């Protein structure tokens, strides 16, 4: 019973947060709604007993990605959003139709035909095993991921720095 109330409340928070984030004209407000969505999703992960993933969700998404988005918005044009201009793209109607069609035609039927296991099994708190699994069978994946993050960091710095135009060549003296 309590689980059901928590599920409905958290899913309402997540869906409303996502909708506001997607439709809000003011980008800063949109990013804060996105943070609400991430928090709702972290609550759902807790409800599914994935406590480490919930913590990682809060740290990575609300902490890092949210702030990164705020900085990107402040570094690019108008903070208050697309005032006085069209907010939506030219083919917005067909985009809307396509998104709803993906839901109705592609996603919903397989979900409904999927045989649903009614009961979740009881599980132990899993952070310790998660760490051990990361060290034993998945250590290569972990290292590749570290390499990927380093490459992404360097790539992001390089891309944001831009190409320096060689305006003033060092004249030979």
Subset of 141-170 contacting other proteins (CB under 8 A): 141, 145, 148-149, 151-153, 155-160, 162
81 neighbors 25 (Cβ within 8 angstroms)? yes
Among 9, 80, 102, 139, binds other proteins (CB under 8 A): 102
Residues 62-81 that bind other proteins (CB under 8 A): 64-65, 68-69, 71-73, 75-77, 81
Closer to other proteins by Cβ: residue 120 or 172: 120
Taking the complex as a whole, the smallest distance from the CB of residue 167 to other proteins amounts, in Å, to: 15
The token pair at 154 is 């360097």
Among 9, 79, 80, 99, binds other proteins (CB under 8 A): 99
CA angle 163, 165, 167 (to 5 degrees): 165
Among 83, 105, 120, 140, binds other proteins (CB under 8 A): 120
- Regarding 43 and contact with other proteins (CB under 8 A), the answer is no
d(CA 114, CA 87): 38
- Regarding 56 and contact with other proteins (CB under 8 A), the answer is yes
Distance of CA 51 to the CA centre of its chain: 18
Closer to other proteins by Cβ: residue 160 or 170: 160
Among 89, 140, 167, 171, binds other proteins (CB under 8 A): 89
d(CA 92, CA 103): 17
- Regarding 32 and contact with other proteins (CB under 8 A), the answer is no
Sign of CA dihedral 25, 31, 36, 39: positive
Sign of CA dihedral 21, 27, 33, 39: positive
Taking the complex as a whole, the smallest distance from the CB of residue 170 to other proteins amounts, in Å, to: 24
Residue 58: burial class (beta carbons within 10 Å; 0-12, 13-18, 19+):
middle
Closer to other proteins by Cβ: residue 21 or 172: 21
């Amino acid at each position: 019973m309590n689980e059901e109330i928590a599920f409905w409340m958290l899913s309402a928070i997540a869906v409303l947060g996502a909708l506001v984030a997607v439709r809000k004209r003011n980008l800063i407000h949109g990013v804060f709604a996105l943070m609400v969505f991430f928090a709702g999703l972290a609550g759902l992960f807790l409800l599914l007993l994935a406590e480490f993933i919930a913590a990682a969700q809060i740290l990575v998404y609300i902490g890092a990605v949210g702030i990164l988005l705020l900085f990107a918005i402040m570094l690019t044009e108008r903070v208050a959003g697309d005032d006085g201009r069209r907010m939506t793209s030219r083919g917005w109607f067909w985009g809307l139709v396509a998104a709803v069609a993906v839901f109705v035609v592609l996603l919903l039927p397989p979900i409904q035909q999927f045989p649903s296991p009614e009961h979740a099994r009881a599980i132990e708190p899993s952070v310790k095993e998660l760490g051990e699994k990361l060290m034993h069978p998945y250590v290569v994946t972990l290292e590749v991921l570290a390499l990927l993050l380093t490459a992404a960091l360097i790539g992001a710095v390089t891309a944001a720095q831009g190409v320096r135009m060689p305006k003033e060549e060092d004249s030979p003296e």
